């Protein structure tokens, strides 16, 4: 049994000893990790990390919360790296109206640019959406690009259906394990198994049994476990299907 953590931030300066974190991931059979890099320094460290550990792959973009003005200082770096095939995905890009409502227009501008880049280069797009599903889906309708993942999904049933209608995958994080997340667990029931990915969003969102600690890829198993329970299938089956789903979107 092996697991695919489709979204973790490993090189944004959160870990004292990243080799230990990766060692624990290996021991837990997390055999693929997508490392999300949201600035130049993180991306540079990301390249080093991927050189050392070939099962760690890189996605990059500015995060919506950092869209402070019209100038995206990271964009050209991301574009070049993507063209040089040093990235396997673009993201996380999107809209966050919980943290950045006042920067709505800049966020939209950045999101459009990364969406265009992903589509031009036929790379998967990892989308961050918080309190912004209406606008996200409106922009999505302009692009009509199914090769995308709505990461850390926390929307409602209608939004989940619209996301699925775009052809996108839905990724669930440790939030689905939280005691007060019954609504989200109900959403898991309606998302087809062949469209589900799992993630940690490390170092944030440690699952229920580890709440209050720094999250890390080894904990993705707890997300898999709860999805297995909800879907009433074995952990082996969820491990395999989420691994296959992620492999399909990131590597084919």
* Nearest alpha-carbon partner for 92 in 218, 20, 211, 199: 199
Omega of the bond prior to 201 within 30 degrees of 0, cis?
no
Return the residues of window 119-158 that contact Zn ion according to CB under 5 A: none
Q: How far is the CB of 127 from Zn ion (least distance, A)?
A: 11
Q: How far is the CB of 10 from Zn ion (least distance, A)?
A: 11
Which one of the spans 22-30, 93-101, 156-164, 193-201 is the region binding Zn ion (CB under 5 A)?
Answer: 193-201
Cα(244)–Cα(236) distance, integer angstroms: 12
> 198 and 175 in contact (C-beta within 8 Å)?
no
User: Which of 37, 187 has the CB closer to Zn ion?
Assistant: 37
Cα(187)–Cα(10) distance, integer angstroms: 28
Cα(157)–Cα(155) distance, integer angstroms: 7
Which one of the spans 158-166, 171-179, 194-202, 223-231 is the region binding Zn ion (CB under 5 A)?
Answer: 194-202
User: Which of 220, 228 has the CB closer to Zn ion?
Assistant: 220
Q: How far is the CB of 191 from Zn ion (least distance, A)?
A: 19
Cα(131)–Cα(117) distance, integer angstroms: 24
DSSP state, 202?
B
Omega of the bond prior to 203 within 30 degrees of 0, cis?
yes
Q: How far is the CB of 9 from Zn ion (least distance, A)?
A: 6
Q: How many residues bind Zn ion (CB under 5 A)?
A: 1
Q: How far is the CB of 126 from Zn ion (least distance, A)?
A: 8
Which one of the spans 132-140, 160-168, 170-178, 201-209 is the region binding Zn ion (CB under 5 A)?
Answer: 201-209
In the complex, the residues that contact Zn ion under the rule CB under 5 A are 201
């Amino acid at each position: 049994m092996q697991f695919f953590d489709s979204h973790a931030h490993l090189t944004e300066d959160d870990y004292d000893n990243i080799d230990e974190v990766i060692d624990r991931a290996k021991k837990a059979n997390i055999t693929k990790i997508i490392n999300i890099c949201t600035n130049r320094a993180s991306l540079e460290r990301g390249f080093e990390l991927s050189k050392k550990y070939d099962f760690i792959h890189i996605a990059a973009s500015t995060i919506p919360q950092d869209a402070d003005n019209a100038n995206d200082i990271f964009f050209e770096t991301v574009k070049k790296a993507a063209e040089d095939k040093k990235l396997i995905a673009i993201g996380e890009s999107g809209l966050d109206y919980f943290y950045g409502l006042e920067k709505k227009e800049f966020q939209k501008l950045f999101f459009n640019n990364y969406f265009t880049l992903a589509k031009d280069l036929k790379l998967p797009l990892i989308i961050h959406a918080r309190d912004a599903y209406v606008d996200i889906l409106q922009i999505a309708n302009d692009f009509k690009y199914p090769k995308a993942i709505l990461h850390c999904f926390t929307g409602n049933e209608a939004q989940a259906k619209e996301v699925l209608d775009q052809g996108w995958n839905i990724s669930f994080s440790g939030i689905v394990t939280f005691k007060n997340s019954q609504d989200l667990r109900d959403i898991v029931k309606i998302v087809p198994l062949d469209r589900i990915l799992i993630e940690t969003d490390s170092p944030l969102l440690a699952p229920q049994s580890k709440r209050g600690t720094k999250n890390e890829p080894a904990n993705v198993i707890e997300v898999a476990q709860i999805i297995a329970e909800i879907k009433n299938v074995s952990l082996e089956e969820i491990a395999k299907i989420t691994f296959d789903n992620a492999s399909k979107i990131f590597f084919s």
